[in-house]
Amino acid sequence: MDSINKMRVAIVGAGKISDIYYSNIKNRYDNLELVKCCSKHGESAKRQGEKYGVVACSFEEILADESIGLVVVLTPADTHYELIKRIVLAGKHAYTEKAFTITHEEAKELLCIADEKNVKIGASPDTFLGTPLQTAKNLIAKGVIGEVSGVTVTIERNLNMLYGHMRFLLGPGGDILGDFSPYYLNALLDLFGPVARVSCMQKINRPNRKSTVTGEEFEVKTENVGAAILQFENGLIGSMMMDGDSIVPEQHHFIIYGTEGVLYLPNMDHFNGEVRLQKNVDGAERLMFGNPQGLTPKWLALEENKKVIEQLFGSVPQPVELLPGPVDDQRGIGVSEMADAIMHGRRPAACGERAAHVVEIIEGFRKSSECGQVYTLRSTI
């Protein structure tokens, strides 16, 4: 693609997540041109600049460069508000890693400024644009699982293994639902639309910790166990349970229930993984309850009943063929899609309004847990 049609991009931040962004924006998405980068202390940006052939400079230089149209923010969540505010006030589009902001008021203010400046804001997670989630969305739209009746997300993580090298988990926005639910909330919003109400309970389990790696003692001040109920504007009800104090390093269950089938989705922190489909067994209710003898051991043992048993209990989830598309780590696809949306005058998929709605959902989780009441959302998408 000719450079005149590319969006010139700068990156703010050079931490753990940055490599995949630098690599993909530099080498993968031909509508983006990565030209500058910066970081808080400068040295990490200098290393990334040398590694990827990008000019390392100050944040002020990025803001002053009129050729840069979009700035990607990869810093901790509690820095996002100030950085994004300066970016949009400088008349540039902004795309940020999660979470967009810590509070919904901050998110609303940034969207108002962006609107006044006629620029766009986007935010990750962009994993909902990946092949597995879009495959599931296509199956639901085709009616493969019938009417969706419910959805559940259950996550187990051993945060004790992560606190040592992911210190942001101990700060604002580092609670288990605040940090990890955006991957699933973005997926759910893409499938079922905005959320109307939430209720939640959260707690800090075992606040006093000792690192199994360094032996360092520290206190956990952010909730590491949380359970929430979500009601979408379309009436669908779903649940979300996240346990950060599990002995299991990482385990994910994302299940969508329908009147004619069930979909099992992979980890929404990734762009790959199987989508499995379990279909309704024809006549299962008749077989289960219409047998006058009941499902006694004697009846089950009869040879002539084996086909019936196979029909009744043989429905197991099977992998489905994914839609065409890459299944490796595409982080930055949201930036590329946003640049394309800006160039063609449409709203970005990972838009600021969606990100602000996610921020309010998470804020609703916290407020509901604190006051013991259902929280009604004010925002939508």
Across 256-266, average pLDDT: 96
Tokens, residue 21? 């962004």
Q: pLDDT by residue (tens digit) across 156-186?
A: 887 766 666 666 666 666 788 888 899 999 9
Ranges of each domain in the chain = 7-127+330-351, 128-323+361-375
Q: pLDDT by residue (tens digit) across 273-315?
A: 999 999 865 555 555 555 555 556 666 667 766 666 665 555 6
Q: pLDDT by residue (tens digit) across 107-126?
A: 999 999 999 999 999 999 99
For position 1, what pLDDT does the model report? Answer: 47
**Sign of the four-CA dihedral 126, 138, 270, 108:** positive
CATH code for residues 128-323+361-375: 3.30.360.10
Across 19-23, average pLDDT: 98
For position 46, what pLDDT does the model report? Answer: 97
Count CB neighbours of 91 within 10 A.
12
Question: Residue for token digits 């599931």?
Answer: 136
Q: Which residues, in sequence order, are CB contacts of 248 under 8 Å at separation 6+?
A: 156, 157, 158
Query: Regarding predicted confidence, which is higher, 228 or 247?
Result: 228
Is residue 54 a contact partner of residue 19, using CB atoms and an 8 Å limit?
no
Across 215-241, average pLDDT: 91
Is residue 240 a contact partner of residue 181, using CB atoms and an 8 Å limit?
yes
Burial of 314 (0-12, 13-18, 19+ CB in 10 A): exposed
Q: pLDDT by residue (tens digit) across 38-72?
A: 999 899 999 999 999 999 999 999 999 999 999 99
Burial of 74 (0-12, 13-18, 19+ CB in 10 A): buried
Query: Regarding predicted confidence, which is higher, 214 or 365?
Result: 365
Across 242-246, average pLDDT: 86
Question: Residue for token digits 């288990």?
Answer: 176
Query: Regarding predicted confidence, which is higher, 164 or 24?
Result: 24
For position 69, what pLDDT does the model report? Answer: 98
Most confident of 145-159, 172-186, 227-241: 227-241
Q: Which residues, in sequence order, are CB contacts of 212 under 8 Å at separation 6+?
A: 160, 161
Count CB neighbours of 200 within 10 A.
24
**Sign of the four-CA dihedral 282, 285, 291, 295:** positive
For position 315, what pLDDT does the model report? Answer: 64
Q: Which residues, in sequence order, are CB contacts of 180 under 8 Å at separation 6+?
A: 155, 157, 242, 269
Across 79-92, average pLDDT: 98
Cα–Cα dist 347/354, whole Å: 11
**What is the CATH architecture assignment of 7-127+330-351?**
3-Layer(aba) Sandwich (3.40)
Is residue 45 a contact partner of residue 56, using CB atoms and an 8 Å limit?
yes
Residue 333 binned pLDDT confidence (cut-offs 50, 70, 90): very high
Cα–Cα dist 333/23, whole Å: 12
* pLDDT greater than 90 at residue 131: yes
For position 308, what pLDDT does the model report? Answer: 62
Q: In the Cβ-directed half-sphere of 225, how many Cα atoms lie within 13 Å?
A: 8
Average pLDDT, the chain: 90
* pLDDT greater than 70 at residue 216: yes
DSSP alpha helix (H) spans, the chain: 18-27, 43-52, 59-64, 80-89, 104-117, 131-141, 176-192, 284-289, 297-301, 306-313, 333-344, 352-371
Maximum CA pair distance of the chain? 82
For position 290, what pLDDT does the model report? Answer: 54
